[in-house]
Amino acid sequence: MIFKHRLLTTPETWSLTIVRVMLGLVIWAHGAQKLLGWFGGHGPAGFMGAFEQMTGLPGFMAWLIIIIEFVGGICLIIGFWTRIWAFCVLCLFVGIIMTVHLPYGFFMNWSGDQAGQGYEFHLLVIGMAWALVVGGAGMLSVDRSMYSGQRTTF
């Protein structure tokens, strides 16, 4: 019962709902690029090749990223196990900074004068994810309806 309370309880606030849905949409779109090749993505084969080349990590970890982004993005949008998926996103983006973006500095490469991108976007994602880990899903979430036993309509 204590675990259920800590995992699913969430305040009646729209601010967490907005953070959750916006983060979920952005993360899901990145996952759709990797899994389905949508939005200019290269699909799983293209992502796995680039992932292994950029990070030197094994390809199975690329599938973990795809799952976190695609499935986790959907779960964030609907507010299902929000704290768990937000924590996964937070850890993923810390890893992305450490393995890829740290050498390029803070700022994104808007001028195109360096080989990669900085990590400012990633810090925003980490901040949003942390707010959800601490605060919960907010209004209109599956978490809220599972905890309270009330039916949530979207």
> Is residue 146 scored above 60 in pLDDT?
yes
How many CB atoms within 10 Å of residue 140?
16
**What one-letter code names the amino acid at 111?**
S
Q: Are 61 and 47 in contact (CB under 8 A)?
A: no
pLDDT for residue 96: 93
Q: What are the domain boundaries of the chain?
A: 14-148
Tell me the pLDDT tens digit for each residue of 85-106. Answer: 999 999 999 999 999 999 898 9
Mean pLDDT of the chain: 89
Report how far residue 67's alpha carbon sits from residue 48's, in angstroms, rounded to the nearest whole number: 13
Lowest mean pLDDT among 65-69, 113-117, 127-131: 113-117
Cα distances from 128 to residues 24, 30, 43, 46, 90, in angstroms, run 10, 16, 26, 28, 9
What's the pTM? 0.87
Report how far residue 21's alpha carbon sits from residue 9's, in angstroms, rounded to the nearest whole number: 17
